Amino acid sequence: MAQKQDVKIGLLGAGTVGLQVARILHDQQQELAARAGANLVLSAVAVRDTSKVREGLDQSLLTTDIDAVINSADLVIELMGGLEPARSAMLKALEAGKTVVTGNKAVLAQYGPELYETAARTDANLYFEAAVAGAVPVVYGLRESLTGDRINKVLGIVNGTTNYILDQMTTHGWSYEQALHQAQELGYAEADPSADVGGRDAAAKCAILASLAFHTRVNLEDVPVKGITEVSAQDIKQATESGYAVKLLARAERVIVEGEEQIALGVEPTLVPQSHPLASITGPYNAIVLETEFAGRLMFYGAGAGGAPTASAVLSDVVAGANHLVSGGHAPRESVYAALPICEPGRVETRRQVRLEVADRIEMMAEIAKIYAVGGVSIASLTQSPTETVPTEATLVISTHRAQNSQHDGITAALAKSPIVHKIASEMSIE
């Protein structure tokens, strides 16, 4: 049997995921070599502090010199996170014709075209399965498995932190603050959770998925974002009573606006009917539903974060990349032939549910109905109940039929000005 070729691997970053990748490369080296058709040799690891002991990692491989790691490698794994120096390092590696594997959704969402173009120009390979949903192979599905189909809609829970928080609020009746504290205690949320709870992490993943699904360049700035920080225990209680679960959903779908096909995008807390497959996703898990022209509805589900699941996705790309290096072939190139326009957020059609605290007077219903009629939005259902603390107030929960966001926003503004409405307690889209 011929001796296998060595593929030298440079690792940028030795945090939770990086350490897991290094350990698996060492512990599973024979099996990985059999799959890749090459010996995967970790040649150097770039870290900020070489004096820090990292259990299971050969200290002699550590360096602070990113360029040296890139120059010594055939394949570069970028797991530093953040925009810089990650972006510059990936560009340098691609310029040198190196294969790059990354899990960096922030760089891909903001600078993806620059990376794709560099890879195409230098005939280098760029892999990024780990950038969206950890071990869940949705990137591979969109880039390769479903290239013979037409994707009409992508809808998913792509942030495990927020799903855990909302799940705990639902299960235990906790406030947002209580659930966030628990998530931080268990390591599901960072000390600074703003990227997760503010929705920006999900928006970056939404941009990547939309780009792949619709063969169109979609940037982070194209995705309207609303996080979960204002979701209250009462919102969760009301949703449950109405037959919904509250989920932070990333959405990308084809829509027709004045006869033109466009892409509607968004990340926001959404009321999901209990019958929908995404309503049952609990804990820090991810799930993405694809609605396709020929295969119908497909769902990808699994662990969306953590060292081992993310390392699994990284190593799947490493095996593929190493195999291409020794056997020929390359990763799928960027596909942007469709170049669909992005739908203006105000023109996207949604259903909404609004919870109001109103003056409990005879004319109240007529006033509310008039606001919706003038705004051109049809009411699908309305329930009224007395408030627990103020006898002269009532709580209204109004669900609408589909209308443009601009119409919904106009009604919200009118409700806020109405003397009969004391408070707009919450407002969410309905899936």
**Same domain, residue pair 146 and 269:** yes
pTM higher than 0.75, yes or no?
yes
**Same domain, residue pair 268 and 250:** yes
- Let me know if residue 337 belongs to a domain: no
Domain total of the chain? 3
Confidence of residue 305 (pLDDT cuts 50, 70, 90): confident
Residue 144, annotated as binding a ligand: no
Q: Is the pLDDT of residue 70 over 90?
A: yes
**Same domain, residue pair 145 and 288:** yes
**Same domain, residue pair 145 and 55:** no
**Same domain, residue pair 47 and 165:** no
**Same domain, residue pair 145 and 294:** yes
Please return the burial class of 392, using the count of CB atoms within 10 Å of its CB with bins 0-12, 13-18 and 19+.
Answer: exposed
Q: Which residues are catalytic?
A: 205
User: What CATH number is associated with residue 196?
Assistant: 3.30.360.10
User: What CATH number is associated with residue 24?
Assistant: 3.40.50.720
**Same domain, residue pair 98 and 150:** no
- Are 101 and 89 within 8 A, CB to CB? no
Span 136-191, pLDDT tens digits: 999 999 999 999 999 999 999 999 999 999 999 999 999 999 999 999 998 888 88
For residue 411, the surrounding DSSP H or E stretch is helix 405-417
Residue 105, annotated as binding a ligand: yes
- Let me know if residue 79 belongs to a domain: yes
DSSP string over 248-286: EEEEEEEEEETTEEEEEEEEEEEEEETTSGGGG--TTEE
- Let me know if residue 335 belongs to a domain: no
- Let me know if residue 1 belongs to a domain: no
Whole-angstrom Cα distance, residue 139 to residue 209?
Answer: 7
What's residue 2's pLDDT?
Answer: 60
Cα 80 from chain centroid?
A: 19
Whole-angstrom Cα distance, residue 271 to residue 275?
Answer: 12
- Are 357 and 416 within 8 A, CB to CB? no
Domain extent for 102? 6-134+307-327
What lies within 8 Å, CB to CB, of 187 at 6+ separation is none
- Let me know if residue 340 belongs to a domain: no
Q: Is the pLDDT of residue 306 over 80?
A: no
- Let me know if residue 364 belongs to a domain: yes
Q: Dihedrals φ, ψ of 292, to 5°?
A: -115, 165
**Same domain, residue pair 122 and 155:** no
**Same domain, residue pair 55 and 161:** no
Confidence of residue 32 (pLDDT cuts 50, 70, 90): very high
- Are 383 and 423 within 8 A, CB to CB? no
